[in-house]
Amino acid sequence: MSAAAFFAILFNVAALTLVVGLGVRIADYARTPAPLKIPTTPAPATPAGVAWRMFREVAFFESLFKGNLWLWGLGWLFHVSLALVLLRHLRYFTEPVWGWVALIQPFGIYAGLAMLAGLGGLWLRRLAVERIRYISTPSDHLMLILLILIAGSGLLLKFVAHTDIVGVKIFCLGLLHFDWQPLPADGLLYLHLGLVAALAIIFPFSKLLHAPGVFFSPSRNQADNPREARHLAPWAARLERE
């Protein structure tokens, strides 16, 4: 099997695993009832207020900011950089490249460096702080190593060992249209792509579920209005009919 075919199959499997795996988890979260009102108060009393709280939580990590400034700084740096890097990569999947994607290209490159710095800081903290070392499992370290390798290999492809990026884009567009195209022969590129596929496959089975999870967290997504509206889960309502 050629490398192109291998990666084409791998990416299809990875995309399918990510989408189906996440879909199953999200459906499970959505289906599971929250029988009691448990927002961590003070909490907003209206749905609009809840949406604003959730936005602050997801965009700025508000709770983490209250909890630990160093951790907040490193975590936020990593996540914002990752978001920029992901957006920058849209150029490999769009033809012609969307205007705003073209615009953010330089920021995306700096973000790659910032992402690596954030990850390095997070790992250092995990290794150096006794309490965090205590609660770390091997998978916590491996997850950071995986992300560091992805960021590192990506930066090397950009700055040190240029790959045939036009060829990569043809391959990527081919993936989208189920019209498999050849992939440039480049070990570093294989590494980068392989690790990204691994990350996508691991996502729905790992702590990366914090990404969809936060939106379903009752302590953050419930409105503080228990006296004004009766909140009753289906299984709890059944008790009343017994």
Partner 1 sequence: MAANTEAPALRPFPTIPALTPGAMAELKPHVAADKIQEAIGFPGKIGDDWQARALGRMGELLNSYRSLKVYMDACVHCGACTDKCHYFIGTGDPKNMPVARQELMRSVYRRYFSVAGRLVPQLVGARDLTREVLDEWYTYFNQCSECRRCSVFCPYGIDTAEVTMAAREILDAVGYGQKYSNEIIGKVHRIGNNLGLPGPALEDTLTGLEEDVKEDTGVDVRFPLDAEGAEVLLVTPSADFFAEPHVDSLIGYAKVFHAAGISWTLSSKASEAGNFGMFIGNYEQLRKIALRVREAALELGVKRIVVGECGHAWRVAYSFWNTLTGIGAGADDPFAVQLQRQLDPRYKQPAHICEVTWDLIRQGALRFDKEANDHRVITFHDSCNVARASRMGDTPGGQFEIPRQIIRAVANRFVEMDPGTTREKTFCCGGGGGLLTDELIDLRVKGALPRMEALQRVVDKHGVNFMATICAICKAQFTKVLPYYGFKMGLVGGVHQLVSTAIRLDASS
* 32 near partner 1, rule: CB under 8 A: yes
Report the site for partner 1 in 210-239 (rule: CB under 8 A). 210, 213-214, 216-220, 224, 226-233, 235-237, 239
CB 206 → partner 1: shortest distance, Å?
A: 6
Contact between 63 and partner 1 by CB under 8 A: the answer reads: yes
Of the candidates 210, 68, 190, the one whose C-alpha atom is nearest the C-alpha of residue 125 is 68
Q: For residues 169 and 181, what is the distance between their CA atoms, to the nearest angstrom?
A: 10
User: Residue for token digits 């980068």?
Assistant: 192
Q: Which is nearer to partner 1, 100 or 235 (CB)?
A: 235
Chain positions 97 to 156 lying near partner 1, rule: CB under 8 A, are: 125, 129-132, 134-140, 142
83: contact with partner 1 by CB under 8 A: no
Say which amino acid occupies 216.
F
SS3 category, 97? coil
Applying CB under 8 A, does 242 fall inside the site for partner 1? no
- In a 3-state reduction of DSSP, which class is residue 183? coil
Number of C-beta neighbours around residue 177 at 10 A: 8
- The SS3 of residue 205 is helix
User: What's CA 64's distance to the chain center, in Å?
Assistant: 17
Q: Does 2 bind partner 1 (CB under 8 A)?
A: no
Q: With respect to partner 1, which residue has the nearer C-beta, 162 or 207?
A: 207
- Closer residue to partner 1, CB minimum distance, 167 or 212: 212
Burial of 167 (0-12, 13-18, 19+ CB in 10 A): middle
Q: How far is the CB of 169 from partner 1 (least distance, A)?
A: 33
**Rounded least distance, CB 87 to partner 1, Å:** 22
User: What is the rounded CA–CA span in Å between residue 109 and residue 120?
Assistant: 17
CB of 104 to partner 1, least distance (A): 26
Name the one range near partner 1 by CB under 8 A: 9-17, 56-64, 98-106, 182-190: 56-64
Listed in sequence order, the residues at least 6 apart from 26 whose beta carbon sits closer than 8 Å to its beta carbon are: 212, 216
Q: Which of 15, 38, 83, 188 binds partner 1 (CB under 8 A)?
A: 38
C-alpha–C-alpha distance, residues 85 and 108, integer Å: 5
- With CB under 8 A as the rule, give the number of residues binding partner 1: 64
Dihedral of alpha carbons 216, 222, 226, 229, sign = negative
Please give the residue ranges that form the binding site for partner 1 (CB under 8 A): 25, 28-29, 32-38, 40-45, 57, 61, 63-64, 66-68, 71, 75, 125, 129-132, 134-140, 142, 205-207, 209-210, 213-214, 216-220, 224, 226-233, 235-237, 239-240
